[in-house]
Amino acid sequence: MSTVKSKNLQVGTDATAFNNFTIYQPSTPDGTLRIGVGNADSPTEVGRFDSNGYVATNVPAFAVGLSADQSISSSTYTKCNLNTEDFDTTNNFDSSTNYRFQPTIAGYYQINATMRFEGTNMINNTVAIYKNGSQARILGTNRVTVSSPVTISGGHVIYLNGTTDYIELYGYVSGTSLVFGVAGTVNNCHLSGSLIKAA
């Protein structure tokens, strides 16, 4: 019986390194086998195998919330200024300027949202996901007139092309003294998502 020992195995000989793959062990062995894009001398890791099986790396996932009540106008779709990040694995959520998720990997994303509305004589409370500035999906609506807080949650799978596509969270309600309310926790107005299938 013979053994071939090597820490890097390049698959492909294309002059453009990005068209090649390398199977390798890290410089300090840790029980994983890595898969990288590029030549054997400098691959970029895209996934690994460990004792539990395959684990993808650099998979976009995020969870963000609203840190304080946000005043909104009646009968107008308004973007929620989600400015607090629980996590953002690939730094694809802008929580300071545009309050949007714009991933760099094309694929199908599971998106979940919750919004809390506070005000007087509220009706038609609606939560919607916008894609590229246009309404893509309504996640839920309350059509009963109330003056107590209303919380609506929902989810949807959305395709994003990994370059120009982005999503934002919007809310709509008719009434007076209206806010997206946090009631002491960012979880009352939040958005989260993750890649479920690359494309």
Q: What are phi and psi of 188, to 5 degrees?
A: -75, -20
pLDDT of residue 2: 53
* CA-based nearest residue to 65, from 85, 93, 87, 88: 85
Task: Give the pLDDT of residue 3.
Answer: 56
As a dihedral over the C-alpha atoms of residue 62, residue 63, residue 67, residue 69, rounded to 10 degrees, the angle is 110
What is the residue extent of each domain of the chain?
8-56, 61-198
DSSP 199: -
Report d(CA 114, CA 170) in Å as an integer: 11
Q: Which CATH class is domain 61-198?
A: mainly beta
pLDDT in tens, the chain (199 residues): 455 556 788 888 888 887 888 888 888 888 888 888 888 888 887 778 888 887 777 789 999 999 999 999 999 999 999 999 999 999 999 999 999 999 999 999 999 999 999 999 999 999 999 999 999 999 999 999 999 999 999 999 999 999 999 999 999 999 999 999 999 888 899 999 999 988 8
